Structure 1
Amino acid sequence: MIIVSGCLQAFYGTLLNLLQFELSPIWQVAEGGRARGSFVYPNHFANFLALCLSLAVGWLLSEMSTQKRHHSIRGTLLASVKMLLSRKLILRLAVIIMIIGLILSRSRMGNAGLFTALGAVALLALVIYRNPPRLLKPLVISIFILDMIIVGSMFGLEKVKQRIEDTSFAAEIRDEVAMDSLPIIEQHWLFGTGGGSFYGVFPNYQPNIYSGFFDHAHNDYIQFAVEFGVIVTVLLGMWVLYALFLACRSMMVRQDKLYRGVAFGCAMAIVHMLIHSTVDFNLQSPSNTLLFLTIICMCYLVRYLPSEAKSR
């Protein structure tokens, strides 16, 4: 259901963007040239797709064979083509659809965070997997080359690249908001100011250098520390890191391909969220938060659930 919802969101957002709708048919929100699906904020849409994408990649990985076969170059190519034309093709198409939606969101950290997380977790998997899938490296390379470069060039990856190049720390007000929130943490470091209170507290600390109303800090780490205090924020961070450890541990010790694949996807999703949360407030979105909590719970499940052979 998670992957299906990601595909539906990506398809809906891509359709509205390519048809150049000025207003969203559902919420009557200005599209502004960026895909946003049923979300109001395009970066929340990008984060949601990235989490779904991570699980889709993990599931696709679990479908791959771990048996080592000695193929010639021709045999390896035939095996790769056979994989793409098998039932795995549906998952592969789902990944492509969600990547198109992610690119059309024009989210800088959404795109950069996803491919960084994919590369980092894939390298880790090559080290800790006892019996890695034969096509792990070809799969990752195909996502980078086919999806990011070829598909991205068709659907506007150049615009995302241009947004990244045009990013100026002098012009990015969100960085100023995060920095100007630090005095709040210094004064309320123990218990914080209360959940959901940032929008009411920050105006008292906002300098006159820039104007505007900011209901979020554009940095989940800063906002959690402001609203809940440093101690609670550190405890929550340790909980997330422990879930990441469980996912990595599952990749190392579990023999069940499904559990290892899901663990790969969960680890990739957590790494992406850790990266994206440095510049945005994705954990303030109920849908993204619930999905992320589900992924954390899956880290525990894939680590401790018995395999089918043992349960029988």
Structure 2
Amino acid sequence: MLRIPHLPNLAWWLFCLTLVLMPLPLGGNRSWVLLIIAPGLLAIWGLLLTSDSSRQQLGQAISHSKLPLACLAGIGLLQTIQTLTLPASWLATLSPGLATIWQGQGSLSLDRFNTQLYATLTLCYASAFVFIQYFALQSARLIKQLLLVLVLAGIFQAVAGIYLYSVNADYTLFYFALHHVRTIGTFTYHNHYAFYLVMTLCLGLGLIMAEPAAQQNGGWKQQLNKLLAFVESRKMLLRLGLIVIVIALVLTKSRMGNAAFFTALLASMAVYLALVKPRNKNLLWLVASVVIIDIVVLGSWVGLDKVAERIGNTALSKNSATLSAMIRGQENSPEWPRDESVEARMLPADYAANIIKDYPLTGTGAGTFYTIFPTYKPATVNNYYDHAHNDYVELLTDHGFIGISLFAALVLCVLARTIVVLRNRKSALAKGLAFSTMMACCAALLHSLVDFNLQVPTNAMLFTCILGLGWCAGFIERPARQL
């Protein structure tokens, strides 16, 4: 038997490196991001399959994750089937609309190459999910360190975004013009950047929760000593790092990014208080400080009022002349608003409703929205839309009701597990992971109403990793006999 010392640690380092590098080139929102993801994940598979013990533990990791992996496998299988050439009779049964387009045998995708790309990415996401379960079986320390690495990546993005915004950076990278009129970090779109920051904030709060709280016993001298020790502790450094991320999030001026963070934090905390007993008073004060200090005080200092003003300038509905100017892309029109309305933002999704009606079962193929949408938008719409600006609608147009059911099952089964963990587990790490996952899911589900974050490989990978962390909370730090 081949034995490699510290194999889990080596695989862990490579996994972390892959996750950290993904958002660096244009936020990873390019097809060539696979050149970063695929080699790293393939190397990890190679490392873990070289020894009998690692293969056995990989089998255990897969065994502990049958339900979510079945959902991911189903999504990947659907995307793979979409790329196959099917007989005309099969095509007519599964998708009469595509059968009409192909006029004979054809595929369930209007763009096989792009669908193959999505299928490969789904395989990468599933691999990341398995690796997290493997590391959780190895050691809780590896999972804590993974949380820390992801939070540090968020802090790096926040610092980079704030610096580039402060110098009003304006440059071209890979033939893409970048204007830092708001914080975008290494991303190209402020809403995608805001989503990434929110996800790392969720992980940061979970990491703080994973540390057992100190008991408030003793006199005032002991309490003062504990306070000083806290100020000098790593938890305080982490706390300051989260403040930096909040500042960067506010400076994105992303309406839904900030709203999703606030809402998810408060909603998740309410669930936490309802399920977890006895309640940790220190933890309650800590989370309250995130709202009071990070958001109200620091947020107002760095520009939360500007975000509020931008939201205030965003009506739920504009008059017909304003909407007409927006959908025609007439930015010089006197009717052009200071900020687009929610209604205008959702116009692509509204027009895409007819796509769902025509291709209800399997959609038009993963990654094909930009192909099919021009035939459904009104002739008066001059703007080019490569995405629906609504993840739910785009999942339906690309994958149909079969695909979105698999996505929903994946998220729901993980959320159900987090509720069980919060109610029954006593492990601080398990509860921290569960809280992070619940908050991240809440924020992602809200943000997906008006944006397409899950179509971006970097954000989709990070969200999948968070789901993996939430799932492993069910067995992490438990004796082997209880697994």
Change (3 A) 1:248 1:223: same
Count residues with an aligned counterpart: 310
Separation in 2 of the partners of 1:198 and 1:273?
A: 21
Separation in 2 of the partners of 1:217 and 1:185?
A: 12
Separation in 1 of the partners of 2:269 and 2:227?
A: 18
What residue identity is the alignment partner of 1:164?
I
Q: CA deviation at 1:206?
A: 0.4
Q: CA deviation at 1:76?
A: 7.8
1:254 counterpart = 2:463: no
Change (3 A) 1:308 1:149: farther
Q: Is the 8 A contact 2:197 2:249 kept in 1?
A: yes
- Single out whichever of 155-164 and 274-283 deviates more from structure 2: 155-164
- Single out whichever of 147-156 and 167-176 deviates more from structure 2: 167-176
Change (3 A) 1:206 1:220: same
1:185 counterpart = 2:356: yes
TM-score (norm 1): 0.91
> Which residue of 2 is the match for residue 176 of structure 1?
347
Separation in 2 of the partners of 1:65 and 1:190?
A: 50
Residue 219 of structure 1: which of 382, 390, 399 is its match? 390
Q: CA deviation at 1:61?
A: 1.7
Residue 374 of structure 2: which of 194, 200, 203 is its match? 203
Change (3 A) 1:72 1:268: farther
Q: CA deviation at 1:83?
A: 3.5
Q: CA deviation at 1:87?
A: 2.5
Q: CA deviation at 1:74?
A: 11
> Which residue of 1 is the match for residue 208 of structure 2?
60
- Single out whichever of 92-101 and 170-179 deviates more from structure 2: 170-179
Q: CA deviation at 1:90?
A: 1.3
Q: Deviations over 1:135-179 (max 9, x none)?
A: 122112211111111111221111111111111333433211111
- Single out whichever of 287-296 and 235-244 deviates more from structure 2: 235-244
1:231 counterpart = 2:379: no
What residue identity is the alignment partner of 2:305?
E
> Which residue of 1 is the match for residue 182 of structure 2?
34
Q: Is the 8 A contact 2:164 2:180 kept in 1?
A: no
> Which residue of 2 is the match for residue 145 of structure 1?
292
> Which residue of 2 is the match for residue 96 of structure 1?
243
SS of corresponding position for 1:167: coil
Change (3 A) 1:27 1:74: farther
SS of corresponding position for 2:177: coil
SS of corresponding position for 2:474: helix
> Which residue of 1 is the match for residue 305 of structure 2?
158
Change (3 A) 1:76 1:152: farther
Q: CA deviation at 1:31?
A: 2.0
Separation in 2 of the partners of 1:179 and 1:123?
A: 33
Q: CA deviation at 1:106?
A: 0.9
Separation in 2 of the partners of 1:161 and 1:73?
A: 41
> Which residue of 2 is the match for residue 23 of structure 1?
171
- Single out whichever of 246-255 and 285-294 deviates more from structure 2: 246-255
Q: CA deviation at 1:75?
A: 8.8
1:296 counterpart = 2:441: no
What residue identity is the alignment partner of 1:150?
V
User: What is the 5 A alignment of 1:272-311?
Assistant: 272-307=443-478
Change (3 A) 1:207 1:86: same
What residue identity is the alignment partner of 1:49?
L
Q: What RMSD over aligned residues (CA atoms) do the two structures have, in Å?
A: 2.4
Q: Deviations over 1:268-291 (max 9, x none)?
A: 111110110011000011000000
1:12 counterpart = 2:160: yes
Separation in 1 of the partners of 2:172 and 2:291?
A: 31
Give the unaligned 5+ runs of structure 2: 1-148, 319-339
Q: CA deviation at 1:242?
A: 1.4
Q: Deviations over 1:85-107 (max 9, x none)?
A: 43211110111111111111111
User: What is the 5 A alignment of 1:48-127?
Assistant: 48-65=196-213, 67=215, 69=216, 83-127=230-274
Give the unaligned 5+ runs of structure 1: none
Q: Is the 8 A contact 1:218 1:280 kept in 2?
A: yes
> Which residue of 1 is the match for residue 276 of structure 2?
129
SS of corresponding position for 2:193: helix
Q: CA deviation at 1:251?
A: 1.6
Separation in 2 of the partners of 1:15 and 1:145?
A: 25
SS of corresponding position for 1:303: coil
Separation in 2 of the partners of 1:88 and 1:308?
A: 27
- Single out whichever of 50-59 and 251-260 deviates more from structure 2: 251-260
Separation in 2 of the partners of 1:153 and 1:267?
A: 27
Same amino acid, percent of matched pairs: 34
Q: CA deviation at 1:134?
A: 2.1
Q: Is the 8 A contact 1:199 1:215 kept in 2?
A: yes
Q: CA deviation at 1:209?
A: 4.3
Q: CA deviation at 1:210?
A: 3.2
